[in-house]
Structures are given as structure tokens and as C-alpha cells.
Structure 1
Amino acid sequence: MGRVENKVALVTGAASGIGLASAQLLAKEGAKVVLADFNVEGAKEAAAELKAQGFEAEGVFLNALEEQSIKDAVEYTVDTYGKLDILYNNVGGTNLHKDLDVVNLDLAEWDRLMDLNLKSVLLGSRFAIPHMQKVGGGSIINTASMAAFASDAIRSAYGTSKAGVVHLTKYIAKQYGKDNIRCNAIAPGLILTPAAKNSLPQEMLDIFTKYNALPYNGEANDIGYGVVYLASDESKFMTGQTLEIEGGHYQANPTTADLAKFTK
């Protein structure tokens, strides 16, 4: 307990999944947390549950596709708690019906995902950094994806936007490190968020499990613990890095599991 005591954190995409788990863990470790989400009722409900447990939290509306909305969420955090120490840029998504291979993907969806997944990280950081400079530093954490490092049959825009997040993280780290502002990213593999559980059939989940180095898939808290680490002073000499939290899924030749069976 107390790993981020007296820190103020803004978590985007915090009404459910990875964002919610991260906000809960940050609060339990002593941070005052603002949960921002397009689903504002969900964000406020989650904040109320944290308050009922004795933690400090507020929920606020966020449309990550609108610059003013991102700025408003940052300003709300500072107005409410007086400062901003931690920003977790977690909003992101894709559309498997439109984000296809390069020849067939919807170009409007390409533009939307660049705004949602990449530009929102730029804007959140842009508005947060001046407040962090005022208090002598801070930690910015960005949600990337293993799709930034491994190609796929579809999700061309998603993977490209997340690769941009990885590199933007390095730029922020280099440009603002002397202000004691650290910037790191987390690249999750498959995480069993409610959205994943509801949209992926068990057969697909089994395929991921098959190729993981570990015998199970990740949970939202697995990413949340990484967020707490990057938000805390435990990672004070770490910046510009991307933590890959993915169960070893991408760490070996993908044929290894099948070849092992063949050679037995």
C-alpha cells in the first residue's frame, strides 16, 4: 500500500477493462484518481464504488476523438485535486469489420483509429505536461499493443497506430525527461477484459492459450500492476520503454508448440 501515495492520476478509458482495473489499483495504492470515459455513467459509478471503500475518485466524461474533451478532462483533474502527477493514456480500439488488410480497409476507419489510438495520446500528453512541469515532474503511461510489433491478417490501422504510440512514447521521454517527466508504454497481449470475453468465442481464446508460453490468458489486473509500477517511484530510472505484458505469446517461433508435439 502507498506506492503512489498523495499522487493525482487521470486514467482514460476507465469505465471498464484495463482502465478500470488500473484506476482501482492506483486508488488502493494511495492515488487520487479521475476516471475518464465516453461511458460517463460507468466512470462515475466506478468512482462512487471507490469512494465507498474510502478512496478518493471522480468520474468525468471523455471523448478521445475531440481535442477539447481531452483538455477538459485534464483541467477537471487539476481543478479537482490541485495537480496532475500521473496520466494513463489508455483509450483505444478497433473495428474488425472495417480495419482489414491494406487493400480492403476502410480509409475513414484508418483516420478514425489514428485519432483514437494515437492522436489522443499526443493530446493527453500535450495538455498534461505543463501541469506536471509545475509540480516538478510526473509519469505518463500509454497503452500500446503487441500489434505494434507483430503483423496480422487484418487490423492494419490498429497495429500501425499502436506502433506510433510506442515511438511517440520515446519522443515524449526524450523531450521532457529533464523536467523529471517520465513516459513509458505498456503493450498488452490478449487480456480477458469484459469486451474480449463477450466478443471472442472460446475456440479463439483457446488458440491464444495454446501459443502463450504460460498456460493461461491475461487479466486486466495484470496490466494494472504494470501501470502502478510505472506510475510509482519504483520505476524512477525507467523512461521511453515499452513493457510487453503478454504471457510470452510473442516470444518464440509460432510453430514451436506444434513442432514439439511432432518430435515427441
Structure 2
Amino acid sequence: MERVKNKVAIVTGGASGIGLSAASLLAKEGAKVVIADFNVEGAKQAAENIKKYGGEAVGIFLDAGDENSIKEAIEYTVQHFGTVSILFNNVGLTNLQKDLDVVNLDLDEWDRLMNINIKSVLLGSRFAIPHMVEAGGGSIINTASMAGFTGDAVRSAYGASKAAVVNLTKYIAAQYGKDKIRCNAIAPGLILTPAAENNMSSEVLDIFAKYNALPYHGEPDDIGHTVVFLASDESKFITGQTIQVEGGHYIANPSVPDFKDLMNKAQK
């Protein structure tokens, strides 16, 4: 229960879903946690819940589309807890109504997603790294996506922005490794966050399940536990990597489930 004891973490987008899981698990493992979210009331409530089981946490406002807001969140973390040793750049947006194929996507939405999904990662790292250097090291963890590795019918801006997260992760790792700063990313597949469960029909979930290698969907804690691992000294020789946490959805020839169905029918 002390894998990140005495470390100071800031989790962006920590009021719900993956961010909330990561913040809670980091606190349970001994970290002091700043939960930064546009939903400031949700962030404060998450911090209060952490305090109930003896953890240290505080919730603050963050607009990941605003440079000054990101800088202020990092500075608050340092002022409140003395340093920052873990940065989880988790904020990300998608928009199925406007982020379409490359001919039809909304260009303003392209700019908005690039600003939130990749520029916020750059800025969070930019403002945290000097403090990590001063403290003697740290761990930066970025939320990428399997959309950054594959093509899709829609979400062109989202996929491009997440591919950029994958490569920016490598650049940060290469540039600041000698300062004992590690930078890694996590690429989730479908994770059953409250938002996913509320917005995805059973038919859509069944399609994902069909192509998963494992017989179940991912949950927020599957990502949260990976964050704790990358934040801890257990991963001290891992940097510049993107860990794919996706239930084996993308590992096989895409025709495998259909061929299995065909063979099952032939055996009947």
C-alpha cells in the first residue's frame, strides 16, 4: 500500500472515469494527489472521498484548453504539497457529431481537439518538468488511445491527436531521461467508464466484445492500476513507451471472429 508513498501527483480530468480511478489508487498507495478538472465540484468531491479513507487529496479547477489554467494547476500543486513528482495528463475529448471523416469533419472541432488532447499534454509537461528536475526526477504519464494506432470511419481529429500523444511521449522521454524524468503513455481500448456506459448501446458494446480477445470489457481501474505501476519505482527502467490496455481487441487478424463463427456453424 506504499508503492508511491510521499510522492506528489497531479491528475488532470480526475473527477470521473479513468482519472478518478487513477487519483484514488495513487492516494491509496501513499501519494498526495491534486485532482484537477473542469468539473471543480466533482474534483472536490473526489478529494473528499479520498480523505475518508485516510488519503491526502485536494480538488481544483482546470481548463485544459487554457495555458494559464494549466500553469496555475501545476504551481498550485507545488505550493500546496511542495513539489510535483507524478503528472498524469489524462484530459481528452472526442465528438462523434463533428469529428467525422477527413472530408466532412468540422475544422473548428479539429482545432479544439488538438488544443485539448495534445497541446494540454505539452503544456502540462512543460510546466511540471522544471519542478521535477529540481526534485531529482519524476514520472509523466499521458493518456493516449488505441485510436492513435488504427484507422476508423470517423474521429479523424481524435485519432490524429492521440497519435501525437504517443510520439510526444517519446520526445519527452528522450529529452529529459538524463534528469531522471520518465515519460510513458497508456493507450486504452474501450473502457466502461460511466460516460461510455451511458452513451453506448448494448449493440455497440456487443460489437466490441466480439472482437476482444478477452471475454469482458475494460474498467477504469484497469487503467488506474497501470498508472500506479508507471508512477512507481517498479517501472524505473521503462520510458518512452505506450502500454496498450485494450483486452486484445487489436492483436489478431480482424477476420478471426468471423472465421470462428463460420467454423462453429460448420461443426453443427
CA–CA separation in structure 1 for the residues paired with 2:78 and 2:209: 42
Question: Counterpart in 1 of 2:57?
Answer: 57
Could you tell me which amino acid in structure 2 is paired with residue 216 of structure 1? Y
Question: Counterpart in 1 of 2:236?
Answer: 236
Q: CA deviation at 1:262?
A: 1.0
Could you tell me which amino acid in structure 1 is paired with residue 52 of structure 2? A
Question: Counterpart in 2 of 1:81?
Answer: 81
Q: Deviations over 1:79-114 (max 9, x none)?
A: 000000000000001110000000000000000000
Could you tell me which amino acid in structure 2 is paired with residue 221 of structure 1? D
Q: Could you tell me the percent identity over the aligned residues?
A: 72
Q: CA deviation at 1:255?
A: 1.1
CA–CA separation in structure 2 for the residues paired with 1:77 and 1:205: 38
Provide the secondary structure at the position in 1 that maps to 2:70: helix
Q: CA deviation at 1:263?
A: 2.5
CA–CA separation in structure 1 for the residues paired with 2:75 and 2:20: 20
Could you tell me which amino acid in structure 2 is paired with residue 235 of structure 1? S
Provide the secondary structure at the position in 2 that maps to 1:48: helix
C-alpha RMSD over aligned residues: 0.5
Question: Counterpart in 1 of 2:47?
Answer: 47
Give unmatched runs, 5+ long, in structure 1: none
CA–CA separation in structure 2 for the residues paired with 1:29 and 1:263: 47
Q: Deviations over 1:98-141 (max 9, x none)?
A: 00000000000000000010000000000000000010000000
The more displaced of 47-56 and 188-197 is 47-56
CA–CA separation in structure 1 for the residues paired with 2:52 and 2:261: 52
CA–CA separation in structure 2 for the residues paired with 1:254 and 1:204: 17
Question: Counterpart in 1 of 2:8?
Answer: 8
CA–CA separation in structure 1 for the residues paired with 2:209 and 2:260: 16
Taking structure 2 as the reference length, the TM-score comes to: 0.98
Could you tell me which amino acid in structure 2 is paired with residue 92 of structure 1? G
Question: Counterpart in 2 of 1:217?
Answer: 217
Provide the secondary structure at the position in 1 that maps to 2:217: coil
CA–CA separation in structure 1 for the residues paired with 2:19 and 2:129: 20
CA–CA separation in structure 2 for the residues paired with 1:224 and 1:49: 16
How many residues are paired up?
A: 264
Question: Counterpart in 2 of 1:245?
Answer: 245
Q: Deviations over 1:157-194 (max 9, x none)?
A: 00000000000000000000000000000000000000
The more displaced of 48-57 and 126-135 is 48-57
Could you tell me which amino acid in structure 1 is paired with residue 120 of structure 2? S
CA–CA separation in structure 2 for the residues paired with 1:200 and 1:224: 22
Could you tell me which amino acid in structure 2 is paired with residue 13 of structure 1? G
Could you tell me which amino acid in structure 1 is paired with residue 119 of structure 2? K
Give unmatched runs, 5+ long, in structure 2: none
CA–CA separation in structure 1 for the residues paired with 2:53 and 2:240: 34
CA–CA separation in structure 2 for the residues paired with 1:253 and 1:59: 44
Could you tell me which amino acid in structure 2 is paired with residue 20 of structure 1? L
CA–CA separation in structure 2 for the residues paired with 1:75 and 1:54: 25
Q: CA deviation at 1:244?
A: 0.1
Q: Deviations over 1:195-253 (max 9, x none)?
A: 00011001101110110000000000000000000000000000000000000000011
Could you tell me which amino acid in structure 1 is paired with residue 29 of structure 2? E
Q: CA deviation at 1:35?
A: 0.3
Question: Counterpart in 2 of 1:90?
Answer: 90
Could you tell me which amino acid in structure 2 is paired with residue 111 of structure 1? D
